[in-house]
Structure 1
Amino acid sequence: MIFKNRPDIELNEELVKRNKVPLLIKDPLWKSMSVHIKDRKIGALSKKLEQLIKEEKMNEAEINKFKKKKTEITKNILEMSHHLNENDQYHLIDKMNKTKEELQKTNQHLENAYEKRERMPVEIQNANMELLSATVEKAALHLVKENEAHQKVEVEIEQVRNKLNLLRENKEKAEERIQLYYQFLHSLLGPEQMEKLDNQIQYTDGKL
């Protein structure tokens, strides 16, 4: 099959989503294929997707860190509140207020991290779609070029095959004629003269 024109392909995003396209930079087939596609856009989009995945992982680590910190701060506040209420340790008021402020900041960081957690899958999916679209475009173009190159090779192979067939036919016909000449001369000249003729033929072949 020979492609006559540049391929015009539009991705159906809904279909792609239903088919659950994997993260391309982690897909073995995409990795194997992309090695043969040198394209700046694909390279940039790959790095963008890789960075987003790293950010998502780092954000999860941040969530765990802030959750742990929140637990520790809350525990400290409860302890200070207990000492304040039970033992009238009023000197703890300032420290407790500062700790509460720290808790508010931690809660804000945690809230921001949770919001980012909700956004990241969409951002990653969009980046993956961008990379998929760019890859499909280039892969289709490479398919056209490789197909054209393949067709040219097929034509050349067919030409060589035909030439070999012709040479083989010529060789067989030449061998048949040689056999006829040899039989004819041998029947007339006899073995001794044929041996002389054979030596002359071998000498001539050697010179060539």
Structure 2
Amino acid sequence: MFSKGTGIDIEKSLISKNRIPILIKDATWLKLFGDTGDRFVNNAKKEVENLLEKQRLIEGQLRHKKSEKRKAMSKIIMLSDEVNNNHLTKGAELLGQYQQEIHTLNDEIDNLTFELETLPMALKEANLNLIKATVKLAYKQLAQWESSIEPFNSEIETLRNRLRELIEKKNDYEEKINSTYLFIHGLLGSEEIEKLDKDMLD
């Protein structure tokens, strides 16, 4: 029934249509394939894990950069008030430094945002590779397990036939017992049978 085919052709559109999850986050996949020794599955799994870790790190960096930008903006607002109201002499120089810091932060935020926006496509591709490796391994295992079932089926059939023979023998003996007992009962009568039952069967 199951063959060990080497070519796995799965359309990306089918993956999108079926809303297949990131496999390493799926409890059933983890139970069935999480600890497999298959090299192709493990390599594809590692690729997905690396991309998810990269996504997590970039998101953390973005939060940090945006926080730094908010702090720099607050300092600029505070310094602008000092320069305008109190004629702070070093204020203009500090303003320039913070403005340059914000410019640098904006560039870093833009780069991180762009990198983060490209990750879903790479993650989808990596997940597709993992799906293909998983399906290939699954069919290989199904073929192996199916061939392993055959000896069990043969043994079950042998036991079934043996059980059928035993049931037939049991029924034969029960029929002989009933027929013989009924014959004796009819021949001697119930009173005599009761006496014989006590003497012969106790």
TM range (shorter): 0.7 to 0.9
Cα separation, partners in 2 of 1:34 and 1:100, compared to 1, 3 Å:
same
**Equivalent residues in 2 for 1:143-162 (5 A)?**
143-162=142-161
Secondary structure of 1:38's aligned partner: coil
Among the aligned pairs, what percent are the same residue? 26
* Counterpart AA for 2:79: M
**Equivalent residues in 2 for 1:75-90 (5 A)?**
75-90=74-89
Cα separation, partners in 2 of 1:126 and 1:66, compared to 1, 3 Å:
same
* Counterpart AA for 2:86: N
Partner of 1:117: 116
Greater Cα shift, 129-138 or 80-89:
80-89
Cα separation, partners in 2 of 1:64 and 1:51, compared to 1, 3 Å:
same
Structure 2: unaligned runs, 5 residues or longer: 178-202
Whether the 8 Å contact between 1:59 and 1:113 is mirrored in structure 2 is yes
Looking at structure 2, the residues matched to 38 and 57 of structure 1 have their Cα atoms a distance apart, in angstroms, of: 27
Whether the 8 Å contact between 1:37 and 1:138 is mirrored in structure 2 is no
Whether the 8 Å contact between 1:11 and 1:133 is mirrored in structure 2 is yes
Partner of 2:4: 6
Cα separation, partners in 2 of 1:74 and 1:63, compared to 1, 3 Å:
same
**Equivalent residues in 2 for 1:18-167 (5 A)?**
18-35=17-34, 37-165=36-164
Alignment RMSD (CA, Å): 2.7
* Counterpart AA for 1:117: L
Whether the 8 Å contact between 2:48 and 2:123 is mirrored in structure 1 is yes
Query: What is the Cα deviation at residue 81 of structure 1?
Result: 2.5
Looking at structure 1, the residues matched to 158 and 90 of structure 2 have their Cα atoms a distance apart, in angstroms, of: 99
* Counterpart AA for 1:112: N
Dislocated runs of 4+, deviation >4 Å: 163-173
Count of aligned positions: 177
TM-score under structure 1 length normalisation? 0.72
